[in-house]
Structures are given as structure tokens and as C-alpha cells.
Amino acid sequence: MRWILPIDQTPRWLLDINLALPLVIAIAAWKAFPFYGLVTLSVLQSIPHDLYEAAKVDGATPLQSFRYVTLPELIPTLMLMGILACIFAFRQFALIFLSTGGGPARTTETLVISVYKAAFNSFDFSYGATIGVAGFVVVFAITLLFAYLQRRQEALASS
């Protein structure tokens, strides 16, 4: 028995300049969602119930409970997940290389793909290493910014 497909050609979504980047972002988000979901769930479950009871006794609405109880407890974890997402985005190689190869027209090319193309396609190892070091410096600067913001928030919380 012959199967009939509802379309007559293979869809080439990842070859469309306007769709490639949104689709790669959607695939990466789909891949990372379980990790971020479990981390967020574990933080939500670790918030003491007494805080919610105290807010309810004080007459807080559910929106106020979220704003003044849940959100302050989540912010450090959300900041950490933000820095991890940034680091993971800089490291994204396999997903992009296997799906689009950095194309079409370099729309999905990341730093790691640029390093690979410079070093192993063009055999310009020094330029590839320079791109890699520049990427490290950027990620390191973002990490330092995160550490500074974390310390500042802890200092404000302890005051």
C-alpha cells in the first residue's frame, strides 16, 4: 500500500532565511525546557509555605503574594538560569551544525560555528583560536556581571 503525503514536496523550512533562526531557537528552547522547568519547579516547592500564610494574614491578594513572596525567592534562580542559557547559547554547536550548518546566508551562525568554519574549513587556526578566545572573554564578562549582581542582591537582602 502506498502512503500519500498531504504535501507534494519535502518542506525546506530550515533553508528559508526568514524561518531558519526562529526554528533553531524553538528547537533549542524545546530541548532546554525540561531542565529549566525542573529547576523552577524545585525552587517553587522550596519556598516556605509560612511566607504565603503570613501574606494571606496581612491581606495580600494572590497577585501581591506572587510579587512580594514568590518573585523575590525566584529571582536568584532566574538570574542563574539566564547566565546558564547565555553560556549554553554560546556553546550551541551540534544542534545548529546538524540542522542548518550556520546557514542560510549565515543567519544561524554562532561563535562556535564561526570557530569551526575558520579553523577546519578554511584551515585558519589562528583566526579560529582568536574567535574562540573572544567568545570566552564575552562569556567570562557576563559571568562576572552575574556574580556582581548576585553579591549586590545578597548585600541588599542582608541589610
Model pLDDT for residues 103-125, shown as the tens digit of each residue = 899 999 988 999 999 999 999 99
Mean pLDDT over 76-94 rounds to 87
Question: Any long-range contacts for 30-35 (C-beta under 8 Å, 24+ apart)?
Answer: 31/95, 32/85, 32/88
What cell does 84 get? 546558564
Mean pLDDT over 44-68 rounds to 95
Q: Tell me, yes or no, if the pTM score tops 0.85.
A: no
SS3 state of residue 57: helix
pLDDT in tens, 137-152: 998 998 899 889 888 8
What domains does the chain contain, in order, with CATH numbers? 19-158 (1.10.3720.10)
State yes or no: pLDDT of 20 exceeds 60. Answer: yes
CA distances from residue 143 to 74, 84, 87, 130, 152 in whole angstroms, order as listed: 19, 9, 9, 20, 14
